[in-house]
Amino acid sequence: MTISEENYLKVIYHLSLVSPKGVNTNAIAGMLDTKASSVTDMLKKLAEKDVVTYKKYQGVSLTNNGLLQAKKIVRRHRLWEVFLVEKLQFTWDEVHEIAEELEHIKSEKLINSLDAYLDFPAFDPHGDPIPNEKGEIKKQEKQLLSEMPTGVVCKCVGVKDSSADFLQYLDKQKITLGSEIKILEKETFDELIKVEVDAKEVILSNKIAVNLYVQ
């Protein structure tokens, strides 16, 4: 598997979580910042290698083998993110780019040793679950902050958007994984939400609320 092939697999995996009946060529192109024609070429190659099933004009989906491969890449990505934050003191907005490179280092022993060294973390710095060696993912029930009713107290457990911009904005609002959030008031007109984060009042826009996972 080349780095390019791995990047395609990973993107197809992420997209298939949202649209399980088949992933569009254009969606893949968008995520990889490439052209649809390039995607078509690659899909044929991946189908040839039996990691995706591909029917012209019908989109792709991962085979069992492709799914396992993809999860292994995700596992590597997220373990490296944990390493960078826990051991090298990186912040959660700095790790993604570097993990994009590190995820392609292929050594089972390396990644399993790293896993043990980090004490078998279940989640990465953005609250995303880390697949185990067999690709199994322990999934937690979590909801978007925007879906929670007024009055409840919940805990921030993840982000949907993990762009540096969004993460830095959360830093500014003093919201981190584990923060207690009490929903004080939801404005129906402009969808602003007044919340209490760790005993301080904050106004959050809908854009924040639809990208923050709580429990």
Partner DNA sequence: AATTAAATTTAGACAAAACTAAAAATATTT
Partner DNA sequence: AAATATTTTTAGTTTTGTCTAAATTTAATT
What does the chain come to in residues? 215
Question: Which CB atom, from 183 or from 212, has the smaller least distance to Mn ion?
Answer: 212
> 198 is written with which tokens?
């760790």
* Contact (Cβ atoms closer than 8 angstroms) between residue 28 and residue 15: yes
Site for Mn ion in 48-87 (CB under 5 A): 81
Site for a copy of itself in 87-126 (CB under 8 A): 87-90, 94, 97-98, 101-102, 104-107, 109-110, 113-114, 117
Terminal CA-CA length for the chain: 37
Q: Per CB under 8 A, does 84 bind a copy of itself?
A: yes
Enumerate helices (H) and strands (E) in the chain, giving the number of each: 8, 8
As a whole number of angstroms, the distance between CA 97 and CA 136 comes to 24
Question: Which CB atom, from 32 or from 192, has the smaller least distance to DNA?
Answer: 32
C-alpha pair distances (Å), 141 with each of 19, 42, 63: 19, 35, 26
* Contact (Cβ atoms closer than 8 angstroms) between residue 105 and residue 83: no
Stretch that binds DNA, among 53-61, 97-105, 170-178, 185-193 (CB under 7 A): 53-61
Question: Which CB atom, from 167 or from 175, has the smaller least distance to a copy of itself?
Answer: 167
Question: Which CB atom, from 24 or from 132, has the smaller least distance to DNA?
Answer: 24
| Nearest in space to 66 (alpha carbons), one of 47, 77, 52 | 52
Closest approach, Cβ 158 to DNA, in A, equals 29
Stretch that binds Mn ion, among 3-11, 14-22, 28-36, 119-127 (CB under 5 A): 119-127
Name the residues that contact DNA, by CB under 7 A: 2, 4-5, 24-27, 32-45, 54, 56-59
